[in-house]
Amino acid sequence: MDSVPDDEGVGPRDLLGLAGPAAAVYRALLRRPGTDVGALAALVGVSQDAVQDGLAELAGRGLVDGLVPVRPDTVLEPALVAVEREIATSRTAVTAARRELGELVELYAGGVARSDRTVEVERIDSSLEAVQRRIDELVMSMSSELLAINPSYTPEHLIEEEAEQSRALLARGVRLRTLLGPRVRDHPARLEHARAMDAAGDEHRLHPDPPLRLLLLDRRVAVVPVDPQNSADGALFVWSTTLVGSFLTLYESLWAQAEPLFRPPPGDGLAPREARLLELLAAGLKDETVARHLGVSVRTVRRESAALLDRLGAGTRFQAGVEAARRGWL
């Protein structure tokens, strides 16, 4: 027996404009055309007055002729077409609004970058999707370097998306360095992805115990989870020069302790001294600072740096770092 639906929300009957006793009466007539009012009331489980009201509503919509139903699609299909048109219009409007929102956020990010950093920490905890959208917006304007610490591994369904973004950054000349934890070796798909990206120029190193998940974008903003144990709680976007500098110091320390995830073949690549020199140069350190790290003179640093650039066919120290990483020397 048909009964009056009481489901919450919009369902198919709502879209067709069929609800209440009228819908039940119409269904009964479709099964048994010509059934009289009394029999319809018994079939539907409502009073005869309710059946009469339902028939009047159906006749007003052209769905019945007396007690004979009209073919449903000839009357109701236009209603669905109108609904589809409204949905398409709404989707177009939402897409345009989201694009506008992205432009507004980009303007905000640019304003923050040019300001005196009155906004030092930005928190996003609405959803992982919102956090990723904010990261993507910042990545679009990057120009020099992306540093990452990923203690666990990228879920397999996100690997290709991550690879596309990395390839786009490398094509723009952005240097990529990724620090991974030992768990990556337990996930073949993630390991193969890392191998492919390492060969493309995204340098990968393995640390026995990375302390946190971290992104550093152009050495001006750091992204860390609100709760290191639960990424779903959102992220902090740190603009403070002091805090970003502390994260950079931590990153360089961890990077120096880590080992290349994929080692070059024996007899190829750089000597340990050359590799360390190239790392320091690629990190943007001044010659005087590099000399102190290596315990040599500034003149020696400059002579060996020139030899390295010539060996790698690079015009700048940054290009030398990228080329060495592409060859798997770092």
Q: Around Cβ 55, how many Cβ atoms within 10 Å?
A: 21
Domains identified in the chain, total number = 4
Task: Enumerate residues 6+ apart whose C-beta is below 8 A from 135.
Answer: 215, 223
Percent over 90 (pLDDT), the chain: 7
Q: pTM value?
A: 0.47
Residue reference for tokens 């067709």:
16
Q: Are 32 and 2 in contact (CB under 8 A)?
A: no
Structural domain including 300 reads 267-330
Residue 311 CB coordination number (10 Å)? 13
Q: Are residues 199 and 213 in the same domain?
A: yes
Among residues 202, 236, 262, the one where a domain terminates is 262
User: Are 66 and 102 contained in the same domain?
Assistant: no
pLDDT, residue 9, reads 43
Distance CA 321, CA 32 (A): 81
pLDDT above 70 as % of the chain = 83
Strands 214-217 and 221-227: antiparallel
2, part of any domain: no
Residues 245, 139, single domain; the answer is yes
CA–CA distance, 189 with 239 (Å, rounded to integer)? 34
Could you tell me if residue 7 is inside a domain? no
Q: How far apart are CA 40 and CA 34, in angstroms?
A: 10
171 in the same domain as 229: yes
Q: Are residues 290 and 232 in the same domain?
A: no
pLDDT digits (tens, 9 = 90+) for 271-306: 777 777 877 777 777 888 888 877 788 888 888 888
Q: What is the pLDDT of residues 205-247, one digit of tens each?
A: 888 888 889 999 999 999 998 887 777 778 899 998 889 999 9
Average pLDDT over residues 161-165: 83
pLDDT band for 5, please (50, 70, 90 cuts). very low
Q: Round to whole Å and give the CA distance between 70 and 59.
A: 10
Tokens representing residue 24 in the block: 């039940």
CATH classification at residue 312: 1.10.10.10
For 203, half-sphere exposure in the C-beta direction (CA atoms, 13 angstrom radius) is 26
Domain assignment of residue 91, yes or no: yes
pLDDT value of position 221: 93
Q: In which element (H, E) is residue 255 found?
A: helix 241-257
The closest alpha carbon to 1, from 18, 17, 25, 22, belongs to 25
Looking at residue 129, which CATH number applies to its domain? Answer: 3.30.870.10
> Could you give the CA distance from residue 111 to residue 108 in angstroms, rounded to a whole number?
5
* Mean pLDDT of the 190-210 span: 84
First to last CA, the chain: 75
